[in-house]
Amino acid sequence: RGHGIDTLGDVFDHVDPQIVLASLDIHGTSRGLQVMGYTTVEIRDTSIHDNISTNAGAAIYQDNSRTLIHDSSIVGNQVTGAGQYGVVRHLINWDLSYFGFTELWNSTVADNVGGGIYGAGTRAHGCLFEGNSEIRAASNTLASFFEDSDFIGNLAGAVSGANVTVERCRFIDNQDDAGAAVVTGYKATVRDSLFVGNHAEQGGAITGWIGDFNSADIDVFDSVFIANTATQGGAIYSHGYWFMGSADIDVVNCQFIANQAEAGGALFGSLDAYASSFTGNTAASGDVLAGFIDAFGEDLYPFAGRLHSCAMWPDEVGTTVVHQVDNSCFPAGMQGFADGGGNVGLITDPFEILDLDDDGFDTLYLDPASPCVDLGGMVDGFDASVLTTQASQCTDAGLLDAGAHVTPLEDVGACG
């Protein structure tokens, strides 16, 4: 076994393709494609499969280069050597100012052993990452962007890296030790995405870490979490410890349905949730949210969460620490929180659970007669007046309704 195709260039700022590879079948090599030295390679309608190497990059190895992949598949490749990561491996030399990237459109990265894409910037548009194992489907990436892509059944997690952006993606049945869908100790932004059936010990779907020199800053908007599981944080886990504080995680306008954990059925740790809805999440401690206490000697450091303008039923927060709750509706008699004002206790279920858009997943609408409607409160940067919380599709133009809002399926005007 030798290399399939080797390329070499030396033009630092040449971004247009210098080499185009189309309609190829690259298999049975120790390195399907090697892209070196500032080369820009475009790949179209090509299958790179069943290549095996002891070293990383069994399918594609990049060294300070750009690879543009269209309508292609990277399937069934293997990296067998210890400490070697990614069947697509992009090496970046940290002493250089040049940064290449791997970009994919309508392509598949599946059933690879030793991980999918590892290193450098990765951009994926309308792609499928499925069944990759040992290392994440897209791991240790820099300034990466994923849109309209599916991550399904990856056995060592889906995405990790620094400065990760995820938009309109689906993460289904992925698993890992932490954050089976997304894990980072740096910056991540997630929008309009779906997380179903993911599993990890910490953070079934998303985990934010802190370290001695870094801390996660994660924003999650307009997303849905269903039936994710973990030991701590069925859906989202915020890591923290006494010396460094905690990851900075904000959750805005999200729905959490039937997630499960021993602690924090939906959320765990010190994080903020705004205008979000929770139902059917379960945990021994904190169906909605659980915190923890870290200790240094005799000093105790509580890590609690904060809920703003949220709707919960029958789920409640945990009582290990005192969480902050304001402008929210929850089961009457709930314990374990400091009342920030504007709250209301519920004696009946406020939700109408419906799949009106026929996408196969339920939406947590509010009963128009529920006390959660017109509860008040404010969420910075959140325009509820063009969104709805009700099955009638009327927009929330009055006082802010508690809980998650969705885009109306039709224009019926304002509620009230």
Sorting pLDDT into bands at 50, 70 and 90, what band is 295? confident
Residues 125-177 pLDDT 10s? 999 999 999 999 999 888 899 999 999 999 999 999 989 999 999 999 999 99
The mean of the pLDDT values for the chain is 93
- Give which of 386, 288, 384 is closest to 329, Cα–Cα: 288
Look at residue 274 in the predicted model and tell me its pLDDT.
98
CB 60 within 8 Å of CB 36? no
- 3-state class (DSSP) for residue 222: coil
Query: Does the pLDDT of residue 298 top 90, yes or no?
Result: no
Look at residue 214 in the predicted model and tell me its pLDDT.
82
Residue found by looking up tokens 């805005």 in the block: 252
Look at residue 133 in the predicted model and tell me its pLDDT.
97
Of all residues in the chain, what percent carry a pLDDT higher than 90? Answer: 79
pTM beyond 0.75:
yes
Mean pLDDT of 1-7: 60
User: How far, in Å, CA of 25 to CA of 3, rounded?
Assistant: 14
Mean pLDDT of 207-219: 89
User: How far, in Å, CA of 287 to CA of 275, rounded?
Assistant: 17
The sign of the CA dihedral 377, 380, 384, 390 is negative
Tally Cβ neighbours within 10 Å of residue 24: 17
- Alpha-carbon distance values, 107 to 16, 58, 126, 229 (Å): 20, 17, 7, 29
Mean pLDDT of 345-359: 97
Structure token digits, residue 295: 């200790």
Residues 251-266 pLDDT 10s? 999 999 999 999 999 9
User: How far, in Å, CA of 108 to CA of 131, rounded?
Assistant: 11
Query: Does the pLDDT of residue 337 top 90, yes or no?
Result: yes
CB 78 within 8 Å of CB 92? no
Sorting pLDDT into bands at 50, 70 and 90, what band is 323? very high
Sorting pLDDT into bands at 50, 70 and 90, what band is 111? very high
Query: Does the pLDDT of residue 108 top 90, yes or no?
Result: yes
Residues 217-248 pLDDT 10s? 999 999 999 999 999 999 999 998 877 778 99
Residue type, 383: D
Give DSSP secondary structure letters for 127-186.
-EEES-BSS-SEEEEEEEEEES-EEE--TT-SEEEEEEEEES-EEES-B-SB-SSEEESS
